[in-house]
Amino acid sequence: DADVTQTPRNRITKTGKRIMLECSQTKGHDRMYWYRQDPGLGLRLIYYSFDVKDINKGEISDGYSVSRQAQAKFSLSLESAIPNQTALYFCATSGVDKRTDTQYFGPGTRLTVL
């Protein structure tokens, strides 16, 4: 079984709809992240969380919100989806091991906003 799972894997929605993307992990990590990737571009950080009570904005948080329901679960919401939020979304987790915090990524969610 995969250590980091994302649901749904694909989603098509319409402008103005509320969408939630979910991420679960079995790695026992405290830190979780949401990134988006656009064609030809690198990954950009949306939000990150170091533990259940900690939420931090990343590089591109406008239009998004998150919820850390438990150590193992981190959800990303688009309150009112718009077409330029069409992208690949990746969840990642990390723990601290030997002074580094290598991040491990989920399989991604392909979101299309029409």
Partner 1 sequence: DAKTTQPPSMDCAEGRAANLPCNHSTISGNEYVYWYRQIHSQGPQYIIHGLKNNETNEMASLIITEDRKSSTLILPHATLRDTAVYYCIVRVGDTGNQFYFGTGTSLTVIP
Q: Mark residues 90-109: x for contact with partner 1 by CB under 8 A, - for none.
A: x-x-x-x--xxxxxxxxxx-
- Residue among 92, 79, 88 at smallest CA distance from 18: 79
* Binding residue for partner 1, selected from 24, 25, 31, 87, defined by CB under 8 A: 31
**Angle at the Cα of 108 (from 15 to 38), degrees rounded to 5?**
60
**Interface with partner 1 (CB under 8 A):** 4, 31, 33, 35, 42-45, 48, 50, 58-59, 88, 90, 92, 94, 96, 99-108, 110
